[in-house]
Amino acid sequence: MLKLRIIPLLLIDGPNLVKGSGFDNWRRVGTLIPALNVHNSRDVDELLLVDAGASRNGRPFNLNILRQARGRCFVPLAVGGGLSTINEASAAIESGADKVVIGSALSSSMSLLTEVADRFGAQAAVAALDVRRTSDGWQMFTHGGSRLVEGSVVERARLAEEAGAGEIVINSIDRDGMMNGFDLEVLTAVVDQVTVPVVASGGAGTVADCVHLFESTGVSAAAAGSLFQFTEVTPAEIREALEVRGHPVRKTLSHP
């Protein structure tokens, strides 16, 4: 059985860490390198590094930042933001990313997922669906939540899997930065329709939120930013809470 993962999410703008809510109102809350050092010391399962403004501002992911991060990061690293071509995705992997997270490029075609999966394997191709609840149900938005993509989120998730995605991240725009719990309904709907791992993002505020997420939806991983930035909660605490309840998690390494 696959072990459940807890993934710190780091949003950056250049070398700065940023936070916001609803994919907006970003503010600087620190710098990247100290945050990486903290997460390395905490023995996290994986890190997700996202350039918050790349797609919205029409620029690619900053590879210099990625190389700096890779030099400090000793766990699997997934990166996203502004990756719109196979050359950009390849450059990110060659610069140290283990996975590339593709979001806005999926607005017109899923072909980039196929290209990444064919070249590097499905495990390196991650689809990111930024979702918002509308009068027509849950729908996907791209470019920082500014552009609507036709079709339901479930349909887009199925297409992403068919295109070669080895993993799907569901980012709740409504819950982003709110720390009021995950959108369990949309996550359950997606998990029920795909066979690849689903990562939940947006809404984590407590250890209990994360435990309830896994027990209610069947997701494979939880990504959280504000929870680890603004509270004393650590990924190890969440893993321990899950283990007590009989869920498979990676053992936390002891540190001197």
Q: pLDDT for 10-21, tens place per residue?
A: 998 888 888 877
pLDDT for 91-133, tens place per residue? 999 999 999 999 999 988 999 999 999 999 999 999 999 999 9
User: Which residue in 13, 51, 130, 176 is the catalytic one?
Assistant: 130
Report yes or no on 249 lying in a domain.
no
pTM, two decimal places: 0.94
Beta 221-224 vs 198-201: how paired, if at all? parallel
Could you report the per-residue pLDDT of 200-252, keeping only the tens digit for each?
999 999 999 999 999 999 999 999 999 999 999 999 999 999 999 999 999 86
Residue 164 lies inside a defined structural domain of this protein: no
Range of the domain at 218: 5-104+174-244
Q: Is 253 part of any domain?
A: no
In a domain, 42, yes or no: yes
- To the query of whether residue 130 is one of the catalytic residues in this protein, the response is yes
At residue 179, the pLDDT reads 94
Q: What is the CATH number of the domain that holds 71?
A: 3.20.20.70
Number of domains in the chain: 1
Q: How confident is the model at residue 143 (pLDDT cuts 50, 70, 90)?
A: confident
Which residues touch 226 (CB under 8 Å, ≥6 apart)?
19, 177, 179, 204, 205
Tell me if 12 is assigned to some domain.
yes
Q: Is the pLDDT of residue 82 over 60?
A: yes
For the chain, percent of residues with pLDDT exceeding 70: 95
Residue 209 placed within a domain:
yes
Higher-pLDDT residue of 53, 17: 17
pLDDT digits (tens, 9 = 90+) for 14-47: 888 888 776 666 778 788 999 999 998 888 999 9
Asked whether residue 206 is domain-assigned, the answer is yes
Residue 190 lies in a domain: yes
